[in-house]
């Protein structure tokens, strides 16, 4: 493979793979159209235009001080062949591979995990089952697919985190209660709620609503701003 559907790169980050210094490559194309999306430029599918030579040069120059490469987007599993090719190169360089995914395709997730190419996954549970299409901007309800992907991560022993972005449309007690019930049913012990932010500043009203709600519930939830 010579060219890849990569639309952007973050060269250094400490927040995209737990306890690792990583770089993030963003695939261009997504199955969802979340109302709060911060990566709008990566929703529309692009043409493969990012040369492997650039990817290789990036990794080769940094492999001695990076711990991991994260593939995000967009939705990296949409580009499973490209993803496997690049992840294989990363692993051969001795780095870990992380993925940010919606979990829309448990079949593809299972395939790449079974090839030993994923060390950690950040997976989005967009909302409770009823509000899933609304929160993901799709007609189809992907809740079951994401739940299946979470089961695969558990069964295969891959480290993972499940998180939900709490945006204005989810910030009420009724919807938060339904979301917490889903986390309980899925047996996710420590979910992460990411507070929707504008220009890096978390929306105060949303944050207060979530904090008030969580003060009445026993499930341990990590808040991320």
**Contacts (Cβ under 8 Å, ≥6 apart) of 116:** 91
Please count the residues of the chain: 225
Rounded to an integer, what distance in angstroms lies between the CA atom of residue 118 and that of residue 110? 10
Query: Cα 140 to chain center, whole Å?
Result: 19
Q: How far is CA 141 from CA 132, 137, 169, 205, in A?
A: 6, 10, 17, 28
Give Rg (Cα) of the chain: 17
Rounded to an integer, what distance in angstroms lies between the CA atom of residue 72 and that of residue 199? 20
- Residue 213 is a binding residue for ligand SF4 (CB under 6 A): no
CB of 157 to ligand SF4, least distance (A): 25
- Mask for 96-135, x = binds ligand SF4 (CB under 6 A): ------x---------------------------------
CB of 71 to ligand SF4, least distance (A): 12
Rounded to an integer, what distance in angstroms lies between the CA atom of residue 37 and that of residue 73? 11
- Residue 24 is a binding residue for ligand SF4 (CB under 6 A): no
- Residue 195 is a binding residue for ligand SF4 (CB under 6 A): no
Rounded to an integer, what distance in angstroms lies between the CA atom of residue 34 and that of residue 134? 8
Query: Out of 14, 33, 54, 190, which residue is the one contacting ligand SF4 (CB under 6 A)?
Result: 33
- Mask for 68-97, x = binds ligand SF4 (CB under 6 A): -----xxx----------------------
Rounded to an integer, what distance in angstroms lies between the CA atom of residue 18 and that of residue 38? 21
E-strand ranges in 107-181 read 120-124, 159-166
- Mask for 43-62, x = binds ligand SF4 (CB under 6 A): x-------------------
Q: Which stretch binds ligand SF4 (CB under 6 A): 37-45, 47-55, 114-122, 183-191?
A: 37-45
Q: Which stretch binds ligand SF4 (CB under 6 A): 39-47, 107-115, 168-176, 183-191?
A: 39-47
CB of 124 to ligand SF4, least distance (A): 6
Q: Which residues of the chain form contacts with ligand SF4 (CB under 6 A)? A: 30, 32-34, 37, 39, 42-43, 73-75, 102
């Amino acid at each position: 493979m010579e060219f890849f559907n990569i639309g952007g790169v973050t060269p250094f980050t400490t927040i995209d793979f737990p306890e690792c210094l990583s770089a993030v490559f963003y695939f261009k194309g997504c199955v969802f159209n979340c109302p709060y999306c911060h990566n709008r430029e990566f929703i529309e599918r692009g043409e493969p235009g990012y040369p492997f030579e650039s990817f290789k040069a990036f990794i080769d120059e940094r492999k001695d001080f990076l711990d991991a490469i994260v593939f995000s987007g967009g939705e990296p599993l949409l580009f499973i062949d490209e993803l496997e090719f690049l992840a294989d190169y990363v692993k051969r360089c001795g780095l870990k591979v992380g993925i940010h995914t919606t979990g829309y395709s448990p079949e593809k997730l299972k395939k790449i995990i079974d090839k030993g190419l994923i060390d950690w996954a950040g997976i989005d549970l967009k909302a409770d089952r009823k509000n899933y299409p609304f929160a993901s901007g799709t007609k189809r309800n992907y809740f079951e697919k994401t739940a299946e992907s979470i089961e695969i991560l558990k069964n295969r022993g891959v480290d993972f985190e499940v998180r939900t972005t709490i945006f204005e449309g989810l910030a009420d007690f009724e919807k938060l209660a339904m979301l917490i019930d889903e986390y309980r049913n899925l047996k996710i012990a420590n979910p992460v709620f990411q507070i929707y932010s504008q220009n890096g500043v978390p929306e105060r009203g949303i944050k207060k609503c979530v904090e008030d709600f969580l003060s009445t519930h026993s499930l341990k939830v990590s808040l991320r701003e």
